[in-house]
Structure 1
């Protein structure tokens, strides 16, 4: 027997052992598809957190056999643990090596729902690495939070990137029209609801404990959210931002005009219904705003039935809390989105500074629950709309359910289109 033959026979058991550990693909079995999801924009806002588990829920439902790898901006502060409790098989790309490998191995790149074309650099990197397909799922565009002179600004390179996508879905009709007006010619362009409508992460234990501590019973309280024109991110040490003097001055100028109608609605609900009020934050800066602008100025008889949440929370506890509420109103967008996703009524009060995202309320059939804080006629109707929601819960829930039905239909349609591109 030759030396080479003896060596081969000696190694055969080892080789067979290694081969037995590998998956065997049958003649009709296809290789598992891999998708990169670019999402998870920041953790100091439960709405920005919600985009990711929302889209992951849709992918899990419609593309259960696809391996998803999340490319995040930030999953710190307990967000990674929250997401993995719900999606234990999810792969989160953390290192540069993991991201580079994913670009080579993935079949599709999905830019998740978000405030703007937030992940454009990563989309550009994907296109430079290969000709593999990509899509944009539920963004506001251009989504510039700013003064009037800034709102129409965008990167000219965006037009080509959006046009070459397999689809470019926008979460409000104003963004869709803006993209069309500025030359985006993607073959599939349409309205697609924000991914946060599908979020289903929960923390019932924490929510129930908090509500019990403050004597808030299921269905017997409404949630309220305050806000300034610009979120004062400079107040959060981790962001390491200098105060924006112009934005801060604008906040101080407008804060009473904007929050006073919300405060009036709180007073009306307490005095005219049997409901209580829970003041909550959507982003970390709104904890103190809620105390300053809503809770502290309340009359004493009203304050006794109002609870101010004195610390920030994560999306799962918020969802579990909203699910037990009678409804929500205030000056934010994504808590209302999460409420409608639960079938809970929600009113949105918007500013122009917040971009065009608020118009998605009209797009899903809730125009009567959308109020512009710079339109006196709108502001004058806020209290009556909140009272109507509080006093007629059956009709309010039916209205929320109708909007949710439309949202789910569009989610099903857009996910079906994505599935076609992965076949």
Structure 2
């Protein structure tokens, strides 16, 4: 049974669908602050997803992407597949002024600044500088975790922790920033519940999914070549995505490690073997029960080495020959197109189930306790049973049951439940885009449709 996503529980009805627009004769010029990293295909997918949803409002919508990090490979992706988007680089100086001419021009021309999907306020300082201009801004599907990865918990425990917080726990700096927003879409219901309990006033506060659900960039030829190279049988193989409890950002970015980095490395050293053993057990079940192959591939670049260090070494001798380990960090369009050719995806990273949903492939999310509350998004879309906590004593049995269901449905595309969840997410993203663009008409309001779903400032925890 698909559970309806949460609807707004705070904003009064007369306010909700009526967003002001200072230029009613034309759509807004939107400056999208997004693209937080290129070492994570989940991060990479946020921007093309948001841009696709916003572009669907009309070709006259002027969209500018202001990326935090964007590599040459990703720039080529935009140039080839979304050539209509303008990309501007630059930062803000200590006084909140753009450091490049291109950013200064975009900053001056934009009608609204939109914070892209993220695990926290990835661009909180930028929005505070923008807030001083008096122009509108909004949040396009974010998670705001009041505890974060340093308070390991299951999603159920996180819900209990949030309910135990006082109504004034939210930092005043973040409360003021959120209150001044034109809209604040929470990509998971735990974030929505937390901010509702904090009695946040002012913005249009509602559930709104991660923009990755609207991503549609596939590289079919590259995926065909990969499937042939690794001798995979289309529709019969499983993609398995490993991860550590903490991404080693100091190694990813070539930085000198600090105390926090050493702490994260130590946690990984203590848990990598046991966490990956759970993944290996599920891989073993798949191979032995189906005779199919497994492709071990990364969502993050560091996981290429992580996979090579553990697979197929930790697998039984009868299973290892059926497991292939991706030798390189693939790009977003190739990964998504490969998911389309797989029977299913079993991932320890949170965004691969979304990528799989865009091509109708069922997925299982094996969640680690150091992840944020963003994993609640799957329950919000009726797929809560596909989330398995890695430390759950029944994890192996649950994974086996879910994998058996995927095996039974091989050859059926799109997967019915996955397609329904994806349709609900993209319908809601269309409503969110309508709000951001400033267009409202018949069937285009911001109501959730029936059946659809120092200080503690800037809860920015990395990742997606």
For residues 67 and 422 of structure 1, the distance between their equivalents in structure 2, rounded to whole angstroms, comes to: 17
The aligned counterpart of 2:431 is 413
Offset from partner CA, 1:269-312 (integer Å, 9 cap, x none)? 11111321100000011112112334221123211111100111
Offset from partner CA, 1:40-85 (integer Å, 9 cap, x none)? 0011011011100111111111243111111111111411111221
Change in CA separation of 1:64 and 1:155 when aligned onto 2, cut-off 3 Å: farther
Structure 1 residue 418, shift from structure 2 partner = 2.6
**Equivalences for residues 93-242 of structure 1 within 5 A:** 93-95=88-90, 96-129=100-133, 131-142=134-145, 145-148=148-151, 156-242=172-258
SS at match of 1:78: helix
Offset from partner CA, 1:131-185 (integer Å, 9 cap, x none)? 2211101011037653119999975311111111111001111111122223422
For residues 329 and 73 of structure 2, the distance between their equivalents in structure 1, rounded to whole angstroms, comes to: 12
What TM-score does the superposition give when structure 1 sets the normalisation length? 0.87
The aligned counterpart of 2:80 is 85
Change in CA separation of 1:100 and 1:184 when aligned onto 2, cut-off 3 Å: farther
For residues 200 and 240 of structure 1, the distance between their equivalents in structure 2, rounded to whole angstroms, comes to: 37
Q: Which has the higher contact order (CA 8 A, sep 6+)?
A: 2
Contact 2:28/2:437 (<8 A) preserved: no
Check if 1:68 corresponds to 2:63: yes
Change in CA separation of 1:85 and 1:155 when aligned onto 2, cut-off 3 Å: farther
For residues 36 and 125 of structure 2, the distance between their equivalents in structure 1, rounded to whole angstroms, comes to: 13
Moved more, 355-364 or 182-191: 182-191
Contact 1:69/1:91 (<8 A) preserved: yes
The aligned counterpart of 2:419 is 401
The aligned counterpart of 2:12 is none
**Equivalences for residues 39-78 of structure 1 within 5 A:** 39-78=34-73
Structure 1 residue 121, shift from structure 2 partner = 1.3
Contact 1:279/1:306 (<8 A) preserved: yes
The aligned counterpart of 1:255 is 272
The aligned counterpart of 2:18 is none
Structure 1 residue 222, shift from structure 2 partner = 1.2
Check if 1:350 corresponds to 2:367: yes
The aligned counterpart of 2:263 is 246
Check if 1:360 corresponds to 2:351: no
Contact 2:140/2:185 (<8 A) preserved: yes
Moved more, 257-266 or 137-146: 137-146
The structure with the largest alpha-carbon Rg is: 1
SS at match of 1:376: coil
SS at match of 2:47: helix
Instruction: Show structure 1 runs of 5+ residues with no match.
Output: 1-28
Instruction: Show structure 2 runs of 5+ residues with no match.
Output: 1-23, 91-99, 163-168, 442-464
Moved more, 365-374 or 154-163: 154-163
For residues 135 and 344 of structure 2, the distance between their equivalents in structure 1, rounded to whole angstroms, comes to: 44
Contact 1:287/1:312 (<8 A) preserved: yes
Contact 2:178/2:203 (<8 A) preserved: no
For residues 332 and 245 of structure 2, the distance between their equivalents in structure 1, rounded to whole angstroms, comes to: 22
What TM-score does the superposition give when structure 2 sets the normalisation length? 0.80
For residues 85 and 304 of structure 1, the distance between their equivalents in structure 2, rounded to whole angstroms, comes to: 38
